A and B are shown apart, each in its own frame.
Chain A
């Protein structure tokens, strides 16, 4: 079945550090890939997405590139801020289907001032 594997957290960084959160996937077809973010006390919200190989999703300084050859969708940000502290979820969905999003287990990020 479809699955998403994320690097285990928690990840703790200092402000302005470089961030990478690894995500790899297994899918039976050609999925769309997503990063969702969950800020403390809130529900998840879509951060960025990519729908085909070599697409780059970007938002709020975060980027992720759909790499079909390595089945990966790693999240990166060049300079993190304290306000980026949250749990980050990688997810996939087979395009055009009514199937639900499949989420990874989440990675807790804490950014210290």
Chain B
């Protein structure tokens, strides 16, 4: 079955520390992976899409098909990074359907 796993409910770090939010997926085809972020009192918004291979707000994520992972990383966390982060998988074959992980709350302390 298709599944996205985010093992950490909460990740608490200090400002300037490196951050890694873990995401593992289970899917038999060629998935497309995303990271969405939800800041306090704001709507869910796209942070990264693996096919674009961009760095957004200092965050990067690499798709590792061997380990079926798509971990989100940032070398130096900022307080404004505090938010809820969701990893999501889109089916291949033209299906516009996202499967979300449970989410990880990132708290960056001063």
Bound pair: A and B? no
